[in-house]
Amino acid sequence: MWRIYVLLTTAMLIWGFNLPLLKYLLLYVGPVTMTSMRILLAGIAVFIILSAFKILRLPTKKEWTYVIGGALLNVVLHHYFLNMGLVRTTGTNAGLILGTGPVLTAISVTLIFRNYPSKLQWTGFIIGLIGVGSVVLAGGGFTGLALGDGFIFISIITQVLSFLIVAKAAKTLDPRVLTAYMLLVGGAVLFVIGLIQEPGEIKAFAEVPPLFWLGFAASAIVGTAIGHLLYNYSVGKVGPSKAAIFINFNTMFSLIGSALFLGEIITARHLLGLILIITGVILGSGAAEDIWKQRKKQKRLA
């Protein structure tokens, strides 16, 4: 179990540090076109990695429904509405709305799978949400709801639903193989949307500086390919509720990455939020309960 917790933390570190990198890349290419090309490259990278480990296979007819459903929710709709929301609302609003992901996942799992988190885990979800709120509000406060906020909320809802698909598909299909097909199918659909919504934007790639390509490759291969491989594999092992609580770490690592690479300032409210986030993850993931049960077992055997 602890190995999975390490993988989830690593995935959040990758995603968190990927945020300031994406901000740099979007200075040169439109959001939908950029996202589609980045995801397509990530899908190709995952296929190469899985082929090298000889674990790639064709999904069955039933498994294709999970691939298409996951691709539409996790890749197409999530990334599309996230990008459309970010250009219409503030980063503060977006961060706070995305921070509801773990709680929404827990509620969805409870309603659909009848898998009830413990009281301690629910406490962790709430503490983590408060921590995310503290970090985000330190950046300038939460303004009134707008169209962009609605888009961001749709993006997190579609992502939460995709986690349920990944968990269900993991019973027969390796989540890493699922990730490869999801990225390729979703990237292709986003590419078509980009051609329609941002006609001619593909030409922008011909005018970017050399440093752009280094950042683009790092974001696609490490930020998207490896990040999604680690996360979806972990969802298949521990379930969507436990995995989703680690999303709170994304806010924390994004803050650290922004401070290191973009020169943003970390305040006392940020530090308080980080402490709450870490506490929420420990409680919400079940790690605290695992430690308590292990110590209780050791005392009984002593």
Which range among 14-28, 99-113, 138-152, 282-296 shows the weakest confidence by mean pLDDT? 138-152
Coarse DSSP helix, strand, coil percentages of the chain, rounded to the nearest 5 percent: 80, 0, 20
pLDDT of residue 68: 96
Whether pLDDT at 83 is above 70: yes
Whether pLDDT at 142 is above 60: no
Greater pLDDT, 136 or 3: 3
Q: Calculate the CA dihedral of residues 96, 92, 143, 268 and round it to 10 degrees.
A: 90
Which two structure tokens, joined as six digits, stand for 98? 């995305």
The CA distance from 283 to 279, in Å, is 6
Mean pLDDT of all residues in the chain? 82
* 94 band by pLDDT with thresholds 50, 70 and 90: low
Provide the residue type at 100 as one letter.
T
Task: Tell me whether residue 82 is exposed, middle or buried, using C-beta atoms within 10 angstroms of its C-beta: 0 to 12, 13 to 18, 19 or more.
Answer: buried
Most confident by average pLDDT, 16-30, 131-145, 193-207, 261-275: 193-207
Share of the chain above pLDDT 70, in %: 81
Instruction: Give the mean model confidence (pLDDT) for residues 9-33.
Output: 86
Is the pTM here over 0.85, yes or no? Answer: no
pLDDT of residue 120: 77
Contact 55, 177 (CB under 8 A): yes
Contact 95, 135 (CB under 8 A): yes
Comparing CA positions, the residue from 186, 191, 203, 180 lying closest to residue 28 is 203
Please enumerate, as own/partner, the contacts of 252-256 that have beta carbons within 8 Å and a separation of 24 or more: 252/12, 252/16, 252/135, 252/277, 252/278, 253/12, 253/13, 253/15, 253/16, 253/17, 254/15, 254/16, 254/17, 254/19, 254/20, 254/95, 255/16, 255/135, 256/16, 256/17
pLDDT of residue 17: 82
pLDDT of residue 135: 63
Whether pLDDT at 19 is above 80: no
Instruction: Give the mean model confidence (pLDDT) for residues 224-228.
Output: 92
DSSP-based three-state secondary structure for 54: coil
* 189 band by pLDDT with thresholds 50, 70 and 90: very high
Most confident by average pLDDT, 19-33, 126-140, 236-250: 19-33
* 185 band by pLDDT with thresholds 50, 70 and 90: very high
Residues in the chain: 302
DSSP-based three-state secondary structure for 302: coil
| Tokens 């995952």 found at | 46
- The tens digit of pLDDT for each residue in 238-279 reads 888 778 778 777 777 777 777 777 676 777 776 787 787 778
pLDDT of residue 263: 73
Whether pLDDT at 99 is above 70: no
